[in-house]
Structure 1
């Protein structure tokens, strides 16, 4: 194995670790009904059960980033959730800067899905 390959592999693992940590942390805030998350979901006009559903989905997405053959699918799943987060902020009238974290995560997740695109079925 070349040094470049090992560096790419290490970088990808680091990115997956970072993303998984972010999503597990975000899920924890939702599943424990932190005041911040409760107020956001209310402001977005979503029912309280949806906050818990999103939290569970975030945990599942974070886990899928570590399941062999599922990394690209997990990244795309989480990217779709981040697109929904961006849309929720914008629909609620929030300034774009409030959607910036979700946009950044969306970009990283799309990049990870691209790198792991060989996992996606061609059917």
Structure 2
């Protein structure tokens, strides 16, 4: 059994490099979700048409916008990154399902799947910050 040290993980990746990579991923995802949330809250025509295409009410677009904006910002903080990734992961599952249900095909659902995978990386890396993990 390998033991992680203060300077690196058990796989040889230095802890500082891993922390920087995790922060970079969280910042990137935060930028994506904050932008997406703001576009929904601003009722950009593309977003309005998308939610109509899926058959959702306009108020639902605003709810998703608030969730994306808030959880996107929460990704920036280590302690709230795991719960934020979990919440945004659920939103991405819903987004992928919405595309598939609407007959858009896998290619249009692909961005949601990619974001879901990246959120899973963040969630796994910060899983020790989840309340049940303490």
Normalised-by-shorter TM-score class: over 0.9
In the alignment, does 2:56 pair up with 1:46? yes
Aligned residues: 123
State the distance in 2 between where 1:67 and 1:16 align. 9
Other-structure match for 1:91: 101
Shift of 1:67: 3.1
TM-superposed CA distance for 1:116, in Å, is 0.8
Question: RMSD of aligned C-alpha atoms?
Answer: 1.4
Which structure 2 residues correspond to residues 22-101 of structure 1 after superposition, within 5 A? 22-101=32-111
**TM-score normalised by L of structure 1:** 0.94
Which position in structure 2 is the counterpart of 1:5?
Answer: 15
Runs of 4+ in 1 over 2 A off after TM superposition: none
- Report whether the alignment pairs 1:103 with 2:113: yes
Report if the CA contact (8 A) 2:51-2:58 is conserved.
yes
State the Cα distance separating 1:99 from its structure 2 match: 0.5
CA distance in 1, matches of 2:133, 2:19: 24
Please state how far the C-alpha of 1:69 moved relative to its aligned partner.
Answer: 1.8
Please, what TM-score do these two structures have when normalized by structure 2? Answer: 0.87
Query: How far, CA to CA, are the matches of 1:59 and 1:28 in structure 2?
Result: 7
Alignment gaps of 5+ in structure 1: none
Higher Rg of the two aligned structures = 2
Q: Structure 2: 5+ residue runs without aligned partners?
A: 1-5, 9-13
